Structure 1
Amino acid sequence: MSKSQYPYPPDEFDVRGPEGAPVGVHREPRSGWSSVWPFLLVAVVFGGLALGVMTYLSDSDPSTENPPTAAEQSASPDASADEGGGEGSGEGDAEGSGEGEGDGSGEGDGSGDGESTEEPSEEPSEEATDVAALLEAADTSAYVRVLNDGGPSGEAGRGSDALGAQGFTNAVADNYPTDDSGQTTNVVWYTEGRAETAAAVAAVLGVPAEETSEQALSDGDVIVVIKQELDIAE
């Protein structure tokens, strides 16, 4: 429609506004803060709610509670019962078994102060048993010559005395008849049929069993050749 065909008379709305003035604006322009603060308010409110929920859940969770201190644990009856039992529960008085006292804290004096009424039996040593058994099988009337062949002075007499103390009735001491027997250690020689007697002699004088041997002797049933100190059995 052209201007000439416009049927209404001109009014103030038909007047063109000044250059650069807003056209068709009926409200005052809004500031930037007025458009932002509603979003900030929503964020603050929901953030506070979320924090409150998390705090409530953490307070109600028993796993997040602080563990009891060492003092509280030691004061609890369960802990004291586990460590040492009730006061006096460790006391015991048994004849021959020992005494123990418990004070409830796990510490006790129960090292075994009991007194046994049984006397400890004294068993003979294996060496003494062997010597006694060998002496029972030996002929203590056999002729035993104890000859010192470069050994300590008086060792032959010491050996014959030891044999006499064990029941040998015919043990004599002397020096070896020649300069050297050719031996380097104490030995026991015996004639045929005198092995058991020689074993008893060797056991009494501490001569090893492997140093006893059968020989063709011209004088004596058993001969002891001494080259070093005898280890006489007690």
Structure 2
Amino acid sequence: MTNSTYRYPPDEFDVAVPGGAPVGVHRAPRSGWSSAWPFLLVALVCAGVAWGGITLLSGGGNDPNSAAEPNASVSADPSPSSSEGAEGEGDGQNDGDGGDEPSEESSSEPEEAQYPGDPAAANMAADIGVYNDSGEAGVAGAVATNLQAAGFTGNLNAGNAGDPNGPQAGAVTANSVLYGPDRADTASAVAEALGIPAENVQESADVGAHPTEAVWVVLVTPPTE
């Protein structure tokens, strides 16, 4: 080694001894690798730490979608037993609601009978026979007076059931109005004036055979005022 390549200052070990060799060598020259490897080691450690931190922050390298899919499928698909139970509850509720609602047929009231004719078109001058079948005296005369007060101006004949040309005793079971052909309007007006229901207003061949009377009023009970 020459002095031009030796980088350390001369000292006592550099003093020449007989034979030309120095007494000693201060230190051996260092190679380039011995100076560079500490830096390489530090760089590798830093790289490893950085890679570990990135892996940790990214969830350990696992795919987040693959981890979430099983949970989504479990929560989205209801079990068959729960769906069947819900359907059963719905069916029971519908059946219960349907049973609570009354049918139209059961809730509707029976239709009220209508008079066979139009009381407004009655012949107020027609002859009317009033027959007592109640067994109580004076009933036929009182009803004839009421019909006169209601505006009937024809002959009002008061008699008893069983009289000649009149109705037979016991022919009807409730206060009734019987009429001959084409006398439905007049009979309806008589029944309306006396409060006799429409179902007790009927056409009768016996009335049609009477020589003069167009309508009969047959009283089984005294009419209520």
Question: Do these two structures clear the TM 0.5 threshold for a shared fold by scoring above it?
Answer: no
TM-score normalised according to structure 1 size: 0.40
Which has the greater radius of gyration? 2
Q: How high is the TM-score relative to the length of structure 2? A: 0.41
Report 1 or 2 for greater relative contact order, CA contacts < 8 Å, sequence distance ≥ 6: 2
Higher helix share: 2
